[in-house]
Structures are given as C-alpha cells and as structure tokens.
Chain A
C-alpha cells in the first residue's frame, strides 16, 4: 500500500516538474510547481517526516509560491510567452541532462550506490514515540543546532531588509 502510494506521488511529482519546465505561461509553471510540492509533501509523510510535510505545504506551497505569483501579477507576465526552448543550445543541454540523469540512476540502481539502511529510521521512530511528531525534530533543533537556528533568524532579517531596499521605488 505504502509503495503504491509512493509511486503515485512520484509520478505526480515528476509530471509536475516536467510541467514547470515545459509550461508556456509563468502562471501555469507555478501551478505545476505547487502540484510537485504537494506530492513531495506526500512522499515526506511516507518517509515519516510529518512535520516537514506540513511545513512543505504551509511555507513552500502556501507562502513562497504565493510570493512568486504576486511578482508575476505585479510585473503582468501572465501572458507574454517567448519561445525559449530552441536550437543548438537546447540540444546540447538536453543531451547533457539526459546523460547526467542516466549516470545518477545507473549508479544508484545497479552499482554499490549509496547505503540505504541504517539505524536512523529506528531512532526517529523512537524519538516520535517519546516526544511526538513535532518534538522529535524540535528537540535537536533547540539543543544541538540552536546556534544555526538563531543565525537563521538573522538571515531572515537580512533578507527582509534586502528585499525591501532592492524592490522599493527610488524617491527623488
């Protein structure tokens, strides 16, 4: 059952990703991206990362994608499509990308690949049983990784100030 769900989510995610790259209008691209993000949230749930799945939907699909949509509407880009998948550069990029994909997949599927078993899953399940779904990720976040967490706050402040300074109109 879990495997079937995983394959369904994977298929939707890949289809959405292709839609992002191939859609004609930026708004269409954006909606395909939301599809991809939602199905990735589904795969997160199947991998026992429930809190991250919720954050993925709320922050990524809900906030960042709406920010993109605001910019598209602000700049009135909804309907100006210039043909930009073209010519020689397109062919070269396609071949390079297909080669890269074939290399990555063959390495993971046939050769030694990366290790896919360890005690991490059992540790996470134990942490969820002890602290709950949110507590399992909050406990290391506020103890071991508290300094990076605080620096993240400074980064967000810098991003807010930078975005306002860059985007505001010059007052003469």
Chain B
C-alpha cells in the first residue's frame, strides 16, 4: 500500500503543478498549491510506515505552515483585489519585465 500511496502522491502533486501553471485565477492557483502540499503530506505519511513516527510529526508542521500561508496569502489577494478590482494574475504586471 505504501507504493500505491507514493504513486497517488505523485499524481496529485503533478495535477497541482498543472493547476498552478494553467489557471490565471489567483485563488484557484492558491488552491492548487494547497493540493501540492497535501500530496507531499501523503508522501510523508506513507514514508512514516518505513522510517517511523517522524513522518507524521512533519505532516503536523506542514499543516501548520499551510494554515499560516493560506491566511497571509489570502490577505495579500484581498489587498490586491482592492487595488485592481480583479484576481486574474494577467493584470498584475507592475513588476513584469
């Protein structure tokens, strides 16, 4: 079952990468990043069956960091939305070369 879990983790991570690359809605890109974090969590839990409980402890930390990241990232999105009236990242080109 560990092998299958790692395969599922790889598939979910790649789907998340795809979402970040092709979607232009900032909130959906953010959701895709959460999907990638979850794929890594699944890999950690699977590896905890190989190396011990540390894998599950790290998943705990990853979840905390994901919560903090979601709070700050959504605050940034709200702040950008107040300025541009959109969350489409194609419109955020101030720093574009």
Residues of chain A having any CB pair with chain B under 8 Å: 2-3, 6-7, 10, 13-14, 17-18, 20-21, 26, 29-30, 33, 36-37, 40, 43-44, 46-49, 51-52, 55-56, 59-60, 63-64, 67-68, 71-72, 74-75, 77, 82, 84-85, 89-90, 93-94, 96-97, 100-101, 104-105, 108-109, 113-121, 123-124, 127, 136-137, 140-141, 145, 148, 152, 155-156, 158-160, 162-164, 166-167, 169
Given known pairs A14-B15, A49-B59, A137-B60, the reply for A60 and B38 (CB within 8 Å) is: yes
CA distance A63 to B68 in the complex (A): 12
Known pairs A40-B38, A109-B3 / 13 extra A-B pairs, C-beta < 8 Å: A21-B22, A26-B28, A46-B1, A47-B2, A52-B41, A104-B14, A114-B6, A120-B55, A148-B61, A155-B64, A159-B68, A162-B71, A163-B75
Given known pairs A163-B71, A166-B76, the reply for A13 and B23 (CB within 8 Å) is: no
On whether the beta carbons of B22 and A90 are closer than 8 Å, the reply is yes
CA distance A86 to B77 in the complex (A): 23
Residues of chain B having any CB pair with chain A under 8 Å: 1-8, 10-19, 21-25, 27-28, 30-32, 34-35, 38, 41-42, 45-57, 59-61, 63-72, 74-79, 81-82, 87-88
Chain B contact residues, majority secondary structure: helix
On whether the beta carbons of B27 and A68 are closer than 8 Å, the reply is yes
List A contacts of B7 (CB < 8 A): 105, 108-109
On whether the beta carbons of B15 and A75 are closer than 8 Å, the reply is no
On whether the beta carbons of B34 and A33 are closer than 8 Å, the reply is yes
Given known pairs A115-B50, A155-B64, the reply for A166 and B78 (CB within 8 Å) is: yes
On whether the beta carbons of B87 and A136 are closer than 8 Å, the reply is no
On whether the beta carbons of A167 and B28 are closer than 8 Å, the reply is no
List A contacts of B79 (CB < 8 A): 166-167
On whether the beta carbons of B15 and A21 are closer than 8 Å, the reply is yes
List B contacts of A123 (CB < 8 A): 52-53
